[in-house]
Amino acid sequence: MELQGIKQRFGIIGNAVGLNRAIDIARQVAPTDLSVLITGESGTGKEVFPQIVHHYSSRKHGAYIAVNCGAIPEGTIDSELFGHEKGAFTGASDSRQGYFEVANGGTIFLDEVAELPLSTQVRLLRVLETGEFIRVGSSKVQKTNVRVVAATNVNLPEAIQNGRFREDLYYRLNTVPIHIPPLRDRVDDIFLLFRKFAADFAEKYRMPSIALDDDARRALMSYKWPGNVRQLKNVTEQISIIEQTRTISAAILLNYLPDYSAAKLPTLYAKKNGVDEQTFASEREILYKILFDMRNDVNDLKKLVNDLIANGVSDIDPQIRNAPIFQNLYNSSDTIITKSPTAPYDGKPFVQNANDIQDTEEIVEESLSLEEKEVELIRKALEKHKGRRKNAAAELGISERTLYRKIKEFNIE
């Protein structure tokens, strides 16, 4: 009965086992002062659970402050959380209290906690362990008594491995974990949520509520909902406003459901802690990978042509056989040629014996100096674009600043 009362008070719709379990944990941990970490995909409704924790705690009469860590610029996040003294930085015309000072005796909710800079994570860890903090621009240690509830849709163990989140802070925040299940794992709740949203929007916009036919209802419940409850609410609102008919068919519904079944290509992201850092270990690694792939392609092509000729394939177009690329391939290998490359093709193989073909990949000797290859690529890019560094940098896939640094490093003229 208490579980149902919590749902009604905070507007939670659904009866899924995972959802009920999350509510129950929030209720049980509320009377303590333990830190709570709420995890779950974006759009699952994580922001409701810190309110449950606060309301059922002894701090319910104290301040409750929700902070979106991802929405505050990195340069001002410390000032927002811990306050600053007058003159601490440009524009600090007066001293200011931070959220941890204002929320003393209450609860502070740190949403998107994984977006905090590493330096701020150190400060947060100190508050959690000792209750102490220092304002920006001050040397005076201050005390605060705040209950911290954090939430994230990021895989924090993976972020720890990538050096983007402190392991000690993770264990300090994760004293009591609460996981909110995605909507695709709450299939029976999908239609309940849709019906609630449809009724709310009908009242808000003063129009009849929309309803689904049987096919539309099946389509609604079989969809994966990558945006979870937030996406379902947005789709319901769109249909309520746009569609003239109040009974929605599956064909109409599918017009509002994006198709995510197509394969998604990987995307490279720059790291936050460096301007020129990339997903690969370095820019050199990217360039060398391209070079070695090109080398393998050429060797594969040589082997293919050698096999064709060694096997006496005579139906190759003479025009192709006498093409420069054909002649270059044979001039660059150590196979025995019985005819001049420029002689007319008579339909017979050039190679005297298939056993005379040697593995060109073992014979060809190339310079494997990474620095030489990098210098060579940079020179070629600059020559191609007639010294225009911006265009050369784009060709190489690096920033103009990085190209300028490498030109100075290797003394390239």
pLDDT tens by residue, 168-225:
999 999 999 999 999 999 999 999 999 999 999 999 999 999 999 999 999 999 999 9
Last residue of a domain, one of 254, 272, 302: 254
Same domain, 151 and 40: yes
- Position 292 in a domain: yes
- Position 113 in a domain: yes
pLDDT above 70 for 146:
yes
Same domain, 151 and 126: yes
Same domain, 139 and 193: no
Same domain, 308 and 342: yes
Range scoring the smallest mean pLDDT among 23-32, 148-157, 192-201, 304-313: 304-313
What's the number of domains the chain is made of?
4
Q: Which of 59-73, 78-92, 292-306, 391-405 has the highest mean pLDDT?
A: 59-73
pLDDT above 50 for 17:
yes
Same domain, 41 and 162: yes
Same domain, 245 and 214: yes
Give the pLDDT score at 91. Answer: 84
28-46: average pLDDT: 96
pLDDT above 80 for 282:
no
Last residue of a domain, one of 179, 208, 241: 179
Give the pLDDT score at 263. Answer: 42
CATH number at residue 110: 3.40.50.300
- Position 359 in a domain: yes
**What is the crossing angle of helices 228-242 and 187-205, to 10°?**
40
pLDDT-based confidence at residue 265 (cuts at 50, 70, 90): very low
**pTM recorded for the entire structure:** 0.63
Domain holding 383, by residue range, is 370-410
pLDDT above 90 for 266:
no
Same domain, 148 and 83: yes
63-84: average pLDDT: 95
Range scoring the smallest mean pLDDT among 11-15, 226-230, 284-288: 284-288
- Tell which wins on pLDDT, 334 or 323: 323
Same domain, 12 and 112: yes
CATH number at residue 243: 1.10.8.60
Same domain, 165 and 218: no
pLDDT-based confidence at residue 330 (cuts at 50, 70, 90): low
Give the pLDDT score at 268. Answer: 46
Same domain, 31 and 57: yes
- Tell which wins on pLDDT, 150 or 74: 150
- Position 264 in a domain: no
Give the pLDDT score at 283. Answer: 57
- Position 259 in a domain: no
- Tell which wins on pLDDT, 378 or 229: 229
41-57: average pLDDT: 96
Last residue of a domain, one of 325, 343, 363: 363
Ramachandran assignment for 108, one of left (phi > 0), alpha (psi -120 to 50 degrees), beta (any other)? beta
pLDDT above 60 for 380:
yes
Give the pLDDT score at 246. Answer: 95
- The chain-wide mean pLDDT, for the chain, equals 83
Give the pLDDT score at 401. Answer: 78
Same domain, 148 and 10: yes
- Position 28 in a domain: yes
Give the pLDDT score at 314. Answer: 52
Give the pLDDT score at 411. Answer: 81
Give the pLDDT score at 261. Answer: 54
Give the pLDDT score at 48. Answer: 97
Give the pLDDT score at 327. Answer: 57
Same domain, 212 and 137: no
- Position 133 in a domain: yes
Summarize pLDDT for 333-376 with one digit per residue, the tens.
444 444 444 445 455 444 444 444 454 444 445 555 677 888 88
pLDDT above 80 for 151:
yes
- Position 263 in a domain: no
Give the pLDDT score at 316. Answer: 55
Summarize pLDDT for 81-130 with one digit per residue, the tens.
999 999 888 888 899 999 999 999 999 999 999 999 999 999 999 999 99
